[in-house]
Amino acid sequence: MHHPAIAPLHTAVVIGGASGIGLAAARRFVERGLKVAVVDRRMDELAQAHAMLTELAGEEGRVVAAACDVSDRAGLAKTAQHVADTLGPVHVLMNNAGIQPGSSIFGEQGEWDAVLSINLGGVINGTRIFGPAMMAHGQPALIINTGSKQGITTPPGDPAYNVSKAGVKVFTEALQHELRNRPDNRVEAALLIPGFVWTDLTRRGRTEKPAGAWTPEETVDFMLERLEAGDFYILCPDNETTREMDEKRIRWAADDVASNRPPLSRWEPSWAPRFKAYLDGE
């Protein structure tokens, strides 16, 4: 049984849809008979995605491409109007745009500004710009925001990315609470939490997919399966991390607060052996 928003002739908007998880999602939506708008700021990749999706659709007019930077609220509002005029009411919105240039606490300000404006600001902008019309048309609709396990367990090494994805988690939880308490509302939200996925974001100079990584298609297929099951938190495993491992890591991170342990105790020298024993079931 499919999610009622993901239905033939409905419209899906995939922001950050020119490659990776976004493009895989756009493909699956086209295959399921939806009209699809792909939004991205990378012109060459966007043109390639549009051509591929149009061929997959087998007809003109079911796929549109729009070049837009998600941090540009005015530009995104124009894009939303263009999609409505071209494809009709939006039933599925996937806020998937993301970057990961690397960061440090006292590193370059530009890295922080870029990551926060796209990874977090883009999710907020997309939701606030497309969301009101999705609520207004009264049909089943769905907003999917792409988060990250790094926004939950927050491993050291890239604080700007972690902060942005932690913000996506908090925002999407608040969004779902808002939606479920609106009278007669038929829009739902979901938080996609990918595992290790082979995309441009994780490639880092490598040319072959590591054995531990899932493909974008595997990730999207899992997402669709869990949406059909009614999940809000779509916590994806991969070929090296099981659901059980993720649950233990998440519980340990939460217990840092509840037990007043050192922050990020998994990586604190005196606590790291205890975490390993916990993970191993000792």
Supply the residues annotated as catalytic.
161
Token output for 152: 């939950």
The dihedrals phi and psi of 49, each to the nearest 5 degrees, come to -65, -45
Token output for 147: 């988060």
DSSP state of 50: H
Residue with tokens 């599925």: 92
**203-51-72 Cα angle (round to 5):** 65
Distance CA 152, CA 249 (A): 9
Determine the 3-state secondary structure of 156 from DSSP. coil
Distance CA 143, CA 152 (A): 20
Q: Which H or E run includes 11?
A: strand 11-15
E strands, 77-195, are 92-95, 141-146, 187-193
Among the listed residues 154, 79, 148, the one whose alpha carbon sits nearest the alpha carbon of residue 119: 148
Among the listed residues 10, 24, 73, the one whose alpha carbon sits nearest the alpha carbon of residue 220: 24
